[in-house]
Amino acid sequence: MDPVTEALIREAEILIEGRLVDASNATLLGKVREDIAIIYKPIAGERPLWDFPTGNLASREVASYELSRLGGFDIVPFTILRNGPYGIGAVQQWIDIDEEVDVVAYAQGQDPQLRKMALFDAITNNTDRKYGHILLTEEGKLFGCDHGVTFHEDNKLRTVIWQFAGLALTEEEIEQLRHVITMLPTWELHHYLSMSELAALNMRLNSLLEAASFPFPSEDWPAIPWPPF
């Protein structure tokens, strides 16, 4: 993203244009300039979740972006925590998708970008990787959205991308894990995650590195989010 667009998303007034009615929490479509669309998710519009009693969805959205950026995954659109018309919330760059793509068929394929997303989801313990959260642009760039239910201390990985389960990690992926483990203490994710969530994140990273393979679905937790779209 160019510096001007980033600065506008960080600081410009948010003009609300509508609400995404399919979302379970307040998810507002807005703009910070006529040609720069954003998604704004105010903390005040979040509904309490029994299995995520601490923290908030917006902070985990930002933590996911920071890990994606700093870890070299480049999966999550630019996301920050800032004030808006309804208080502090996550503000994320809007991604235009290729409407011609059959996302269900695509998500079951072997695009290396999907493999990267699968590893990212295993690290962040994403419990809600639905088809609708897989965004492919007309240029063929893959993004993922809706990372509010991530980083739980317990194994809650639920995803529609299981085709890589059990496959050995490549040397590049192993080096990526090592990089994240080494740099994690310097990334200041404590601004967004609890100490127990950070400890669990570190344990998952080391477990993935020790196994050197993609995880299989848990026998104690549904493998696929419902509904899957």
| Residue ranges making up the domain that contains 198 | 3-211
In a domain, 50, yes or no: yes
In a domain, 203, yes or no: yes
In a domain, 16, yes or no: yes
Count of domains observed in the chain: 1
CATH code for position 184 = 1.10.510
pLDDT of residue 25: 86
Q: Is it the case that residue 74 has pLDDT exceeding 80?
A: yes
In a domain, 229, yes or no: no
Phi/psi at 92 (5° precision): -125, 140
Torsion angle, alpha carbons of 163, 168, 169, 171, to 10 = -140
In a domain, 119, yes or no: yes
Name the 3-class secondary structure at 128.
coil
Q: Is it the case that residue 92 has pLDDT exceeding 80?
A: yes
In a domain, 221, yes or no: no
183 and 156 in contact (C-beta within 8 Å)?
Answer: no
Span 177-219, pLDDT tens digits: 999 999 999 999 999 999 999 999 999 999 999 999 999 999 8
In a domain, 225, yes or no: no
pLDDT of residue 34: 87
pLDDT of residue 166: 98
Edge to edge, what strands does the sheet with 15-19 contain? 15-19, 28-33, 36-42, 87-93, 79-84
In a domain, 114, yes or no: yes
